[in-house]
Chain A
Amino acid sequence: MQCDLMPMPRLVLLWFGLVVTVGFLLSATSAPALAGDAPAQRVVFGSAGFTESNRFWTIARPEHLQYDPFLETLLEVDAKTGEFTPRLAEKWQASPDLKEWTFWLRKGVQFHNGFGEFTANDVVHSHSFMLRQDATSGTAPLWRMAEEVKVVDDYQIVFRMKNPMAIMPYIASRAGELRIISKAQWDKEGLEGLDKRPAGTGSYRYLERKPGLSIAYERVETHWGGERPDFKQLEIRLVPEETTRLAMLLGGEAHIVDLPRELQKEALNRGMKIFSSSQPVDWMTVYLGGQYYTPGDPKFQANVPWTNKKVRQALNMAVNRKELLETIFAGKATPVYVTGWLPISEGWNPEWVTRFDQLYGYNPTKAKELLKEAGHPPGKLQLKILGFTNPGESEGPQVAEALAIYFKEVGINAAIEILDWANVRDMFRSKSIQCCIWPNIISWRPVEDWIRVSYYSKSTNHHFEDEFIDKHYLALAQTVDPEERQRLTRTIGDHLFEEFPDIPLFWFFNEVVANPKTVADWSYPGLGAGRSTHFHLLKGAK
């Protein structure tokens, strides 16, 4: 390289160009931090993230966190008991056949940004989005069963459903996805208005979104229900990395965060507090593939080892649930007795609690015996455990590894395969998962819906299917009488309890970690769509 290769001017120009480009990049769109009031007025919640969109009919329940502060629902979920109570609807009633549901609406509810009073037309309008082609929320299929939505008068509306809908209160509540938005705004501003600044009826008002970063809300001065949040401004931030969330909390940038258990301990050591949901929210169970016992099912393969009930029981007895609980889950969970059932669910049988240890409890000796009886001496049985992670749920692979260790001790050789959630889902939907077992975390829903989705032979998930369940479920779907419904759901529950369809593990409460200097208390059920809900109940520290 010769020193005289490039004359000074060209060189200077080049470097100048580079510096200018870099400087421009630096100064371009430097987004200022949200102008905050005095710290006591603003609270920041650090979440693991969600799909950002104002189109609530395309967003599934857990991600409705982003709507909870400002878009309301017909029914409320009580913060302590989880019961469905009046909200935008003061009263509701079903016809004897559970097909017609009438809602009497509250008067004098005003939409944000001056879009007028809430009436039955707004309910019809909000519901209409569930009928769109792009409606992909979880309860949309149920809303689409509405044959007619009749406006009786401004404050009374009737849904006529194709099938009896016993779980209507659930889907119309804060645990569901029908968010009430303003027809007046739609008429004036259309989809663009909804995408930019949706008007709701909640005690917080939508302020703005910063894509990829946060969503901010502001307290409304008069709320129809007299709700007055302690914090004037609320901001929910999207932070995918757990360590970053912990750092934010400790550094004072966030006041409440979602943290995995390992990090909760560290936060507690530094003086933070945990606020738990009042009800259990999700459960983890290990599902066993290939259990298609409906006669004539072509996907049924008899050589799958756990089609033998003894093997299923052995698998259960090999697992030391107590140790799993202490170690991976830091002791914070309650046991699952029959997958999907909580004491508040229809058909709960307290006997399951007392009999559980005897049938499912940790007993490796008995497990080995059962396996031998079933024709699998130690070392012969092979199975595959599938692990996958979803944002915020990292325990799957850990549990898979723990299971492998437990199974090894009773002579079962378990291989672990880590896949994408989508692959696993594809496998069990297409009934091609006979090879494997997999732990999964699913959130609470009414029992009838759970059976429809997982045990009914025309379900989507095919966790365990047989004639008995089919018969009773079809009867249940048509049954209106509450006592008969209890009897039917209990029968199905009992059947499942005796059949060892899976390896039930734990119910989890939703836990968030907060800075007691800012947040003194928070009471929320956990069953609301979004898990962390009822932001208006955040009590500021004095």
Chain B
Amino acid sequence: MATAVSQPVPWYNPPKIARAVFQARRYPVVPVAILLFLLVIPAVFAPLVAPHDPLKGSLSKRLLPPVWAQGGSIEYPLGTDKMGRDLLSRMIYGARVSLLVSFITVFVGGSIGTALGLMSGYFGGKLDTLIMRLVDIELAIPTILLALVLVAAVGPSFGTVILLISLVIWTRYARQARAETLTVKEQDFVARARVAGASHTRIMLRYIFPNIVNTLVVLATLQVGTIILLESTLSFLGVGIPRPTPAWGVMVADGRELIVTAWWVSMFPGLGIMLTVLSLNLFGDWLRDHLDPKLKHV
């Protein structure tokens, strides 16, 4: 039987493209794209991408409007700030700072929280009560208050902000880890491991942790947005990332008195924060729906 040799399908076949686009709508293309362009690429490639030095400004060029407004120039596409520094460059480097702060705090806070939550759920008893009391106490301390007092004591710095935000977020990981651990530890394979003589540490690390890590990753993604927001609020109150480091929160706070005269100084970083957090939330939602639909409560 002769088989008809089919023509190769040209790549610009409209129906095929249409179907691909239609199927892609299930993936969070837009949020990821925004994240890539707004956060990841600038953060990683900052020195290559930024047109100017974010720390160096010329006082004679201060408060220039963006390029499309009257008085703006292509040299400073998004305008300049109070000290004559290029806003676009500062936004790019600011992405780096925001990302760095988020990652480190999520790592620090998340690790502590997960460890404590794991132990709390696994061992139960007095340790569990103690750790949960700690969680309650920590939740009872108003964040802002803790921030003000801590920063006044230690002085505002990158490290202080990280410490502070970690102190605030570890509780969510602890609670989540504990809840998950409680379910996992009842499983058969855990019992078998114990019978086989595995130590507690081994069981926690090798058997329980890998099963709860999914939720925690989703939680982490969802938290990056919160952290960026928290950092900007702290900066507004004067206890955030110290100047002159460009961080979006600091930039919005600095520009707040200029919101009337030089709106671009705080509008662009504000937009940056909003779009980034929005995209992170959308991405996080998708992640959650795909990794584990049971995670409605996260």
Q: Which residues of A contact B (CB under 8 A)?
A: 242-243, 246, 260, 262-263, 265-266, 323-324, 326-328, 387, 389, 394, 397-398, 401-402, 404-405, 408, 416-420, 422-423
Contacts and interface: CB of A to CB of B under 8 A. Distances in A.
B258 interface: yes
22 contacts: A243-B256, A243-B257, A243-B259, A246-B260, A262-B257, A262-B261, A263-B260, A263-B261, A266-B260, A324-B59, A327-B59, A327-B60, A327-B84, A328-B59, A387-B243, A398-B83, A401-B83, A405-B83, A408-B56, A418-B156, A419-B156, A423-B155
B152 to A, nearest CB: 6
Contact of A323 (B60, B152, B238, B243): B60
B242 interface: yes
A392 B278 CA distance: 35
B259 to A, nearest CB: 6
B258 A262 contact: yes
Contacts of B243: 387, 397, 401, 416, 418
A542 B262 CA distance: 35
Name, among B57, B256, B257, the residue most crowded by chain A CB atoms within 10 Å (CB to CB): B257
A408 B58 CA distance: 12
Interface in B248-298: 256-262
Contacts of A326: 59
A397 B83 CA distance: 11
B82 to A, nearest CB: 6
B71 interface: no
B244 interface: yes
Contacts of B152: 420, 422
A529 to B, nearest CB: 27
B185 interface: no
B62 interface: yes
Given A405-B57, A417-B242, A418-B242, A242 B257 contact: yes
Interface of B: 56-57, 59-60, 62, 82-84, 152, 155-156, 238, 242-244, 256-262
B93 to A, nearest CB: 15
Contacts of A389: 238
Nearest to A388: B238
Nearest to B61: A327
A404 B85 CA distance: 13
A402 B238 contact: no
Contacts of B242: 416-418
A425 B112 CA distance: 37
A319 to B, nearest CB: 11
A405 B155 contact: no
B97 to A, nearest CB: 16
Contact of B56 (A266, A387, A405, A423): A405
A323 B59 contact: yes
B285 to A, nearest CB: 22
Given A405-B59, A416-B242, A420-B155, 20 more contacts: A243-B256, A243-B259, A246-B260, A262-B258, A262-B261, A265-B261, A266-B260, A323-B60, A327-B59, A327-B62, A327-B84, A328-B59, A389-B238, A401-B83, A408-B56, A416-B244, A417-B242, A418-B156, A419-B155, A419-B156
A177 to B, nearest CB: 28
Contacts of A398: 82-83
Contact of A243 (B56, B59, B260, B262): B260
Nearest to A404: B244
Nearest to B56: A405
Contact of A401 (B156, B238, B244): B244
A164 B1 CA distance: 125
B115 to A, nearest CB: 32
Contacts of A323: 59-60
A534 to B, nearest CB: 28
A243 B243 CA distance: 21
Name, among B60, B155, B260, B262, the residue most crowded by chain A CB atoms within 10 Å (CB to CB): B260
Nearest to A423: B155
A414 to B, nearest CB: 11
Nearest to A247: B260
Nearest to B242: A418
Nearest to B257: A242
Nearest to A265: B261
Contacts of B60: 323, 327
B246 to A, nearest CB: 12
Nearest to B241: A418
B264 to A, nearest CB: 14
A30 to B, nearest CB: 25
Contacts of B244: 401, 404, 416
Contacts of B56: 405, 408
A402 B257 contact: no
Of all A-B residue pairs in the complex, the 8 with the closest CB atoms, nearest first, are A327-B59, A418-B242, A266-B261, A242-B257, A266-B260, A323-B59, A401-B83, A401-B244
A328 B82 CA distance: 8
Nearest to B152: A420
A103 B243 CA distance: 52
A419 B56 CA distance: 22
A402 B56 CA distance: 10
Contacts of A327: 59-60, 62, 84
B89 to A, nearest CB: 15
A405 B60 CA distance: 12
Contacts of B82: 262, 398
Nearest to B244: A401
A401 B60 CA distance: 14
Contacts of B259: 243
A387 B242 CA distance: 10
A405 B243 CA distance: 14
Nearest to A327: B59
A260 B57 contact: no
